Amino acid sequence: MFTGILVEKSDEKIVFNAFSEGQTKRMEFAVDEVEELIPQPKSLMPELLLRDLTAQQAADLLAFLASLK
């Protein structure tokens, strides 16, 4: 079992970034090696992270994150 961020999914392979001990590791598997993909119900963003931001700071953060696509 692995946990990570899905980077690519095609008919041939599934690629994701796994996080462990402050490191990011790119993991690639053939589709037939993967038994199941389960989306996580909870966001990776720490809870209450936006609590101390103003509405403008939160909007700026959201705009920045959206620009990373």
Residue-wise pLDDT tens digits, 18-67: 887 778 899 999 999 999 998 888 877 778 888 999 999 999 999 998 99
**Would you say the pTM of this structure is higher than 0.75?**
no
Burial call 50-66: b when 16+ CB within 10 Å, e when fewer? eeeeeeeeeeeeeeeee
Under a CB-based contact definition with an 8 Å cutoff, are residues 40 and 29 in contact? no
What CA–CA distance (Å, rounded) separates 33 from 29? 6
Q: Strand, coil or helix: what is 32?
A: helix
